[in-house]
Structure 1
Amino acid sequence: MTVVSVSMPEDLLNRIDEFADEHGYTGRSEVVREASRNLLGEFEDAKLEDRDLMAVVTVLFNYETTSVEERMMHLRHEHEHLVASNFHSHVGSHYCMELFVLEGDLTAISTFVGKIRATKDTLSVDYSVMPVDEFGPGTLEAEMGHGHGHDDE
């Protein structure tokens, strides 16, 4: 197996170690491998391919981190064909929340979420994806939980 060196904040490493201990993992490598497989598999769901989708993406970041807010604005403009709506709000005295409503296909949505996740200094990225091409009795309820992911760092 190949050994990879990864840089991360000390508090995240401590959380990974605690998670490994609490959940019976053999160590942090096993946690990181499983998390990586889950992340890579999130958007590989055949039920969502070739369908019109709607996604809601919520990003939380520190108010004083202006580089994150600038990056959110850049992504909104870069993906204006995908972003149906965007909302910015202050949360408490130190945080901002950016909410994006997206309409598009699986590839476009997964690319957008990936770029959000790759933005340095975001505190939390949460999203949900649902198909909008087959709204009918019972369809929405059956599909709502599908494709939901959460990423806290």
Structure 2
Amino acid sequence: MQRVTVSLEEDLAEAFDALSTEQGYGSRSEAVRDLIRRAIAERGEAAADGACVASLSYVYNHHTRALAQRLTEISHAHHDQVVATFHIHLDHDHCLESVMLKGPTARVRALADAIRAERGVRFGQLNLITVEPNGRHDHASGDHRHGPHEHLRPAVG
């Protein structure tokens, strides 16, 4: 077994201890191991080689040096994956963003990881849904006109 040291703010440590006790853990270590196991299991649920649609939500402090600019630059660099962004001002310091994503699962996960890893981003949560192409078609008639494209549908599972 390996020992890992983690530093937590006092209020976060107290909240974690309360949660651990509430859920019946005998120690912080067992609670942390269970959180890690759960994260690893969730990560493996969606095949990395398939396609997905996803919602990434996170909170950040907009006063963190250049963070809003970095987040915008990341989104622009991945414009093929970012479908839409929803931005809410929570208070004078914090914002909530939900970013709708689509594309190859591995690339969507990598983008979500990059955003969550930015200094100042907190509470990042990715909700990923595996999809499969539903055939290419073209809307060339009527009022609805655009070029050939694929639609996606939730994967049967």
| Alignment TM-score, normalising by the size of structure 2 | 0.72
One-letter amino acid of the counterpart of residue 39, structure 2: L
Match status 1:31 vs 2:31: yes
CA distance in 2, matches of 1:104, 1:38: 24
Percent identity for Structure 1 against Structure 2: 27
One-letter amino acid of the counterpart of residue 109, structure 1: V
| Partner-residue secondary structure (3-state), 2:22 | helix
| Alignment TM-score, normalising by the size of structure 1 | 0.74
Corresponding position of 2:119? 120
Question: Structure 1 or 2: larger strand share?
Answer: 2
Unaligned ranges ≥5, structure 1: 144-153
One-letter amino acid of the counterpart of residue 28, structure 1: R
| Partner-residue secondary structure (3-state), 1:56 | strand
Deviates more, 1:86-95 or 1:6-15: 86-95
User: CA separation of 1:77/1:9 partners in 2, compared to 1, >3 Å: closer, same or farther?
Assistant: farther
Contact 2:116–2:122 (CA under 8 A) maintained in structure 1: no
| Partner-residue secondary structure (3-state), 2:5 | coil
Unaligned ranges ≥5, structure 2: 135-152
Cα deviation for residue 27 of structure 1 reads 1.0
CA distance in 2, matches of 1:120, 1:101: 21
Cα deviation for residue 23 of structure 1 reads 1.1
User: CA separation of 1:128/1:28 partners in 2, compared to 1, >3 Å: closer, same or farther?
Assistant: same
Cα deviation for residue 134 of structure 1 reads 6.0
CA distance in 2, matches of 1:50, 1:93: 41
Corresponding position of 1:14? 14
One-letter amino acid of the counterpart of residue 25, structure 1: Y
Cα deviation for residue 49 of structure 1 reads 4.2
Contact 1:85–1:100 (CA under 8 A) maintained in structure 2: yes
Q: Deviations over 1:32-79 (max 9, x none)?
A: 11111222232212x544332100111112343344323312321332
Contact 1:43–1:106 (CA under 8 A) maintained in structure 2: no
